[in-house]
Amino acid sequence: MNNQQRDSLKQLMKTRINEIEGFLSPTGDDSDPDDESASLDQKIASAVNSQVSQNEKRELALIRNNLQWLDSDDAGYCQRCGEEIPFARLQAVPATRLCIGCAERS
Ligand SMILES: [Zn+2]
């Protein structure tokens, strides 16, 4: 990975972090804090949302870690086998630290 690729990955990760943070803390008028009037449908939707939030929070933590990883000597190398991870894969899945082969085996 050259410096240009590294910079573009960092930019991509920061954008993704902003997206997830915006998703996790909506500032719009959609959320209704009045739980007592919530219908069953709303409660189900809220449970699904909290499941989604868990995944998003996990991804957020992984990408934040990978942002620091990009500044280290191991940047871009598979955490398990040490092979260089293709740049396109890191672009597509910025939260990963595994090459495709290792990800499929895990
Ligand atoms: Zn690997």
Cα(16) to ligand 1 centroid in Å equals 24
Provide the domain count of the chain: 1
In a domain, 76, yes or no: yes
> pLDDT at position 50, please?
82
Domain extent, residue 100, equals 3-24+52-105
Question: What letter would DSSP give residue 77?
Answer: B
pTM: 0.77
> pLDDT at position 46, please?
83
Cα(56) to ligand 1 centroid in Å equals 24
Cα(86) to ligand 1 centroid in Å equals 11
- Residues of the chain short of pLDDT 50, as ranges, are none
User: How far, in Å, CA of 106 to CA of 102, rounded?
Assistant: 6
In a domain, 97, yes or no: yes
* Residue 85 CB coordination number (10 Å): 22
Q: Which residue has the tokens 């993704």?
A: 16
Q: Which residues pair with 84 in a beta bridge?
A: 77
User: How far, in Å, CA of 49 to CA of 80, rounded?
Assistant: 32
> pLDDT at position 36, please?
65
> pLDDT at position 42, please?
83
